[in-house]
Amino acid sequence: MISIRECIEPLELNKLLNLHKTFVGAEVYKRIDFYINLFETLEFLQTHERTQGRTIKRLIKTVYLHHTQYEPFIALITENPNDFSEQKYLKLKSRVYFRPEMRNFTVLSGLLKELRRRAENIITLDLNQGDSRKSRYYSRIRVKFSPLGILLKKIFDYDWFLGQTPDGVWGAYQLTKGLGMKVCAYCNRQYTFTLSKGTRKITKPELDHFLPQHQNPLLRVSFFNLIPSCTICNRDCKGQKHFNYSQYLSPYEDNPGHKLFSYDYIPTSYYGAVGENEDIRLFVKSAGVALSPRLLTKVTGNMGVFHHNMIANEHRDVVQEIIRKRVLSNDTYLQIVIDMFPAAALTIEEAYRMAYGNFYHEKEFSKRALAKLTKDIAIDVGVLEKIY
């Protein structure tokens, strides 16, 4: 796994966070305001039974939504959502018309007002740095707002966020484009380009909810809970597993130099040792005793879920080539590249990129697949030693 924070400047990350907060927040506030007004209107109707349908409709539509949203937003809280339509506003006078958990209009309205005050904090909540105060805060509000139930899915609407066009102000395409993660943050193996043409969506990374959205509806559009990833990691490996911050590591957590774990290999024959064939066993190892027990648990958790050891061995050909270049050059391959073009005065970074077709600096690992594996193995076989 590579760290998103290692690959983007803090100022740029903060700029994206503010764009997300402003755009998503505006929609979230609008939806909360609608439901506050709706429940206050429903409470009003309990003592004003003679209110006409057109008046009820006018009272509810005081908060402006897109014209296609009113009826679905109201139907969501009714006992039979398929039964509600524009012609049935008079039914809203009856409390029994609504889901049982949606009948205490006053309590729900109060919770929604508090949710509005906390919405910005929720959208920008960063649980990645081990701040116990933020963890306790989230645990409290998760319980506090749980009575809102199905409303949270409609308020923090991930499908709405995904539906934004690539040429708009903000949305999933703008987020993944801004982060610049051209390779999956979980595996650094699969390309995850963000491409569009006008309003046409072509391709982008999947956005994994690090904390699953079904168990954490408050965080469905939370910036730091959306992880750009590949289909293999998001669907095939992680799938429906219930991630948490005590057992698994998020790509938004601190991981200096992406070195919490690294790739290594063992040749299984003489020919593998000299790079003449793929008789090599690749594996991933953690930083071991250098890690705290808590961090070691998280790193080990990721290694298991994403099957790093198994999948790594599908790239034995890459490792074979690195070994072979080292053997043929007697550990001086990079120096040979530098000497080959004396007029160019190649730096170690330039020679490395020419020699191995990948990026040398850890901050650029997000630009090309297998950048981490390539450098880890290059260091392990010793091809970088003699250059220093």
- The overall average pLDDT reported for the chain is 95
Check residue 300 and give its pLDDT. 96
Structural domain contains residue 237:
no
Sequence-ordered list of residues with C-beta below 8 angstroms from that of 289, at least 6 positions apart, any chain: none
Sequence-ordered list of residues with C-beta below 8 angstroms from that of 92, at least 6 positions apart, any chain: 41, 42, 45, 56, 60, 74
Residues in the chain: 388
Residue 202: in which H helix or E strand, if any?
strand 200-203
Structural domain contains residue 244:
no
**Mean pLDDT value across residues 54-82:** 95
Residues 187 and 308: their CA atoms lie apart, in Å, by: 8
Residues 67 and 94: their CA atoms lie apart, in Å, by: 24
386: pLDDT strictly greater than 80: no
Structural domain contains residue 62:
yes
Element counts in the chain: helices (H) and strands (E): 17, 6
Instruction: Report the share of the chain in percent with pLDDT over 70.
Output: 99
**Mean pLDDT value across residues 240-259:** 95
Helix (H, G, I), strand (E, B) or coil at 62: coil
Q: State the total domains in the chain.
A: 2
One DSSP character per residue, 346-375 reads --HHHHHHHHHSS--SGGGGGGSTTHHHHH
Check residue 385 and give its pLDDT. 66
**Please, where are the H alpha helices in 83-234?**
105-123, 132-144, 150-155, 158-162, 172-179, 231
Ramachandran assignment for 203, one of left (phi > 0), alpha (psi -120 to 50 degrees), beta (any other): beta
Domain end point (choices 139, 158, 177): 158
At 363-373, the pLDDT tens digits run: 999 999 999 99
Q: 261 and 129: one domain?
A: no
- Structure tokens belonging to residue 98: 């609504």
Parent domain of 14 = 10-158
Structural domain contains residue 125:
yes
Helix (H, G, I), strand (E, B) or coil at 216: coil
Check residue 108 and give its pLDDT. 98
Q: 124 and 261: one domain?
A: no
Structural domain contains residue 60:
yes
127-135's contacts with Cβ under 8 Å and 24+ in sequence apart are 127/211, 127/224, 127/245, 128/224, 128/245, 128/250, 128/252, 128/253, 128/254, 129/253, 129/254, 130/245, 130/253, 135/245
Structural domain contains residue 213:
no
How many Cα atoms occupy the beta-carbon half-sphere of 137 within 13 Å? 11
Domain end point (choices 158, 173, 196): 158
At 178-220, the pLDDT tens digits run: 999 999 999 999 999 999 999 999 999 999 999 999 999 999 9
Residue 75: in which H helix or E strand, if any?
helix 70-75
CB 247 within 8 A of CB 298: yes
388: pLDDT strictly greater than 50: no
Structural domain contains residue 317:
yes
**Mean pLDDT value across residues 283-309:** 94
**Mean pLDDT value across residues 246-265:** 96
Q: 126 and 265: one domain?
A: no
Structural domain contains residue 362:
yes
